[in-house]
Amino acid sequence: MMTNPKRPIRVLIVDDSALVRKAISEALSRDPEIEVVGTAPDPYVAREKIARLDPDVITLDLEMPRMDGLTFLRILMKHHPLPVVVVSSLTQAGSQAAVEAIEAGAVDVVAKPDGTMSLGAVADRLAWHVKAAAEAGSRLRRHPERAPSQTPDPVTPIRSTGRPPHDRQIIVIGASTGGVEALRRVVPLLPTVLPPVAIVQHISATFSRAVAERLDSLAGLKVREAGDDEPLLPGECVIAPGDVHLAVEHRGGRFRTRLVRSPPLHHCRPAVDVLFRSAAEAAGPHAVAVLLTGMGTDGALGMQAVREAGGTTIAEHESSCVVYGMPRAAVELGVVDRVVPLADIPAAIVDATIRR
């Protein structure tokens, strides 16, 4: 007897541009696991189609007439929470609005298709984000109490021991879907007397700088987008630029960044595995690797390298993950020292640096 195939992910596309709606629809329709059930030129039409079509995921433009996408997103998250992938312009204003959208409850953000992107590249990227959003949505339906909050938690950094960190210590963090919001709940709580921090967040090019600037405004640590061959000092945090791998080296008594334009790994660039493996080589037993929410398996093998080098490994617990993919892969590989919910990650990081 034949079994019924898995139901496709139902997507509603909301964008005021007919050309963009067509491009996104064609791109997503190339994937047999995704079904575009409708499009809408503005939030008012979208509201009616959400009620009628019951989509699993919405792709949402932020710059629209009648009602902007950010306002619509906030209303949607309050009254009818659904997984939303923001499709934003590459302008600085668009990048800042995209970060605000993630804080308001969007699962992820991707760059709006333009004339420089092939349909195949757009299809692969959008399909990945839509599938991750659908997974986040299934967890939201199972646990509605985890709907995103639009009110940031008060930030009280963990008290440092005041002891200067070991000069070979480094903290490396990897995240994907749901990771921008997770980083907002981790990085600002870290004390300034801390080893250097390097982060890989799966994100489109141009948006990484806006994420770094947002975290810098919230944290005591100095947070910036990483450049190539820059010193990385205690009390500093760098985030990998979109579409380029980030690695670290230890030269001349200090850590330095290295940007690598090698092919994507696990369909990701930047990839967490690249950063983690470099930290294992550069810091050995003094490396602390942290794996947060995300779809896929990126980071598990890198975490294995850190563990084999004698470093400390920490993974986010399933209970707080937006998507329990990357941490699950590391746990199932047996390379995680501690598994803790997101709220306890900052304390676990500080504790690991003391133990090292």
Judge contact between 9 and 56, C-beta under 8 A. yes
Beta strands in 222-309 (DSSP E): 222-225, 231-232, 236-239, 245-251, 254-260, 287-291
Catalytic one among 176, 208, 278, 320? 176
d(CA 49, CA 167): 57
Per-residue tokens: 312 = 């400390």
Per-residue tokens: 114 = 């333009």
Q: Using alpha carbons, select from 195, 178, 274, 188 the residue that is nearest to residue 233.
A: 195
Catalytic one among 61, 250, 298, 320? 298
Catalytic one among 129, 202, 245, 286? 202
Q: Using alpha carbons, select from 346, 278, 347 the residue that is nearest to residue 311.
A: 278
Helix (H, G, I), strand (E, B) or coil at 197: strand
Residue whose pair of structure tokens reads 């007397």 in the numeric block: 193
Judge contact between 232 and 255, C-beta under 8 A. yes
Angle at 243 between CA 345 and CA 353, to 5 degrees: 25
Characterize the bridge pairing of strands 254-260 and 231-232: antiparallel
Is 16 catalytic? The answer is: no
Is 176 catalytic? The answer is: yes
Q: Beta partners for 290?
A: 173, 314
Is 298 catalytic? The answer is: yes
Q: Which residues are designated catalytic? A: 176, 202, 298
